[in-house]
Amino acid sequence: MNGNNKKVLIIGGGLAGLTAAKRLVDQGFQVRVLEKRSIYGGKVSAWKDEEGDWIESGTHCFFGAYDVLYDLMKEIKTYHAVDWKKHQLTYTLEGGNSFTFKTWDLPSPLHLMPAIVNNGYFTFGEMASFAKSLIPLALQKDAYPPTQDHQTFAQWAEEKKFGKRLMDKMFRPMALALKFIPPEEISAKIILDVTETFYRIPDSSCMGFLKGSPQEYLHDPLVDYSTRKGAEFQNQVAVDELLFDGTEIRGVQLRNGEILDADYYLTALPIHDLCRVLPASLKQHDRFFGDLDRLEGVPVISVQIWYDREISSIDNVLFSPDGIIPVYANLARTTPDYRTLRGEPFEGKTRFEFCVGPAKSLMGLTKEEIIDRVDRSVRANFPKETQGAKILKSTLVKIPRSVYAPLPGMEQYRPTQKTPVRNLFISGGYSQQLYYDSMGGAVMSANLAVDALTKAAAENGR
């Protein structure tokens, strides 16, 4: 027990904040979590609409690589709710075609052989030229991607001269699915990092879905666990500013006028909200804080459409390079608790959830216009299956600033969890850790922030 009942204020009740709360109560700290919204979970949050259907901030796939997340779920006894799917990735195409990257149950890199020699779409020549472009990655391993943060993935691909079809059909939806920005914007480092991990760790690209809502299997159990151990959770409480006295944080100013103080402060905010609560004096005090203004959030749109028939029977994540649905899934297949519509069973039909992107140019459109465009993408990808198909319900969530945008040159500005201010620690997907802005990243950032805070508390003895 290192906490010795010292007080920690956690600002933000997304996955990073909830993870930090659990880790800190486990260490004996006295924890209070402040969350602006009425629900916890941030970008992974879900809520029921007035008809009783779950609405999600976005489709959340669980990558095999997120060990830290599964350790956490095992501790709160909800790991059983991750439903692992077949280890393959299917891409659907305009006109009704599709192709699938399969894997074999063999050690790396042999597990990727079927994806290279028999994916049913790209020629062996195309895959061989791609494999050749990865030689530096194979030789230098994880030391290579950081050397490529100066350029976009499209520039890197141009330099390596691998085919346009691979870029358009495989990497465009991949970049949009990972960080909601296209290859012409995303740093080459990100795609190369992910490729290196998929290449090195066979199970890392395997995908899972939760059996139901993240509220039931992640956030509520985390809040309950920490509450039982004495943590205090307050929602609908927004922090307006961290109060900095020139040396350390003296308190937080809430929007309702109240001031709260603690021994330590741990932020778990989206990057734009963190920049908003940091006072100018702190940003001027140290470049560490001033540079955070360079990071920004990406817009993204999530859409659900219930159709009156089964359009895809694939029980897994789907990618599409054609239209505006780079990544999607039929939740009526992937997510057993979601086989419902307005509280009634919804078997053998389709409840698609889409990540719509790139969203920048779509944010100003109405719900009807966006649903119409998504529906047209679906009909283009499944011309036969959608003949006569009717939409029974649709929902839409717009997030103007979601995950941070990993543009070229931004890696250097991702903050460490330990800051130059003795009693201030930072967590969140954009802070430095292996998994970028993702569920695994949020959990890892919280683990690292708590490690740094615990160490500081032990050293300071206060």
The binding site for ligand FAD (CB under 6 A) comprises 11-17, 34-37, 42-44, 57-61, 238-239, 268-270, 273, 277, 300, 302, 355, 399, 402-403, 428-429, 437-442
Shortest distance in whole angstroms from residue 175 CB to ligand FAD: 14
Nearest to ligand FAD of 53, 273 (CB atom): 273
Of residues 233, 217, 219, the one with CA closest to residue 25: 233
The residue type found at 440 is G
Shortest distance in whole angstroms from residue 26 CB to ligand FAD: 18
Return the sign of the alpha-carbon dihedral for residues 195, 201, 205, 211: negative
Nearest to ligand FAD of 63, 153 (CB atom): 63
Q: Which residues pair with 248 in a beta bridge?
A: none
Shortest distance in whole angstroms from residue 443 CB to ligand FAD: 9
Nearest to ligand FAD of 17, 323 (CB atom): 17
Distance in angstroms (rounded) separating the CA atoms of residues 109 and 377: 35
3 state DSSP class of 220: helix
Nearest to ligand FAD of 3, 14 (CB atom): 14
Shortest distance in whole angstroms from residue 187 CB to ligand FAD: 17
Q: Which residues pair with 304 in a beta bridge?
A: 353, 395
Shortest distance in whole angstroms from residue 129 CB to ligand FAD: 30
**End-to-end C-alpha distance for the chain, whole angstroms:** 14
Packing angle between helix 439-460 and helix 15-26, nearest 10 degrees? Answer: 40
Shortest distance in whole angstroms from residue 224 CB to ligand FAD: 17
3 state DSSP class of 132: helix
CA distances from 444 to 19, 100, 391 (A): 9, 31, 40
Shortest distance in whole angstroms from residue 442 CB to ligand FAD: 4
Of residues 10, 111, 74, 124, the one with CA closest to residue 417: 10
Nearest to ligand FAD of 386, 447 (CB atom): 447
Nearest to ligand FAD of 406, 429 (CB atom): 429
Distance in angstroms (rounded) separating the CA atoms of residues 13 and 135: 42
Nearest to ligand FAD of 20, 457 (CB atom): 20
Nearest to ligand FAD of 33, 192 (CB atom): 33
Nearest to ligand FAD of 268, 325 (CB atom): 268
Contacts 24+ apart (CB under 8 A), 358-366: 358/176, 358/180, 358/181, 358/182, 359/180, 359/298, 359/299, 359/300, 359/301, 359/398, 360/299, 362/301, 362/324, 363/299, 363/301, 363/398, 363/400
Nearest to ligand FAD of 11, 292 (CB atom): 11
Nearest to ligand FAD of 294, 462 (CB atom): 294
Element spanning 370, H or E: helix 367-381
Which residues contact residue 75 at a Cβ distance below 8 angstroms, ignoring those fewer than 6 apart? 22, 225
Shortest distance in whole angstroms from residue 42 CB to ligand FAD: 2
- DSSP conformational letter for 215: I
Return the sign of the alpha-carbon dihedral for residues 322, 325, 326, 331: negative
Shortest distance in whole angstroms from residue 215 CB to ligand FAD: 12
Q: Are 171 and 112 in contact (CB under 8 A)?
A: no
Shortest distance in whole angstroms from residue 406 CB to ligand FAD: 12
Shortest distance in whole angstroms from residue 298 CB to ligand FAD: 9
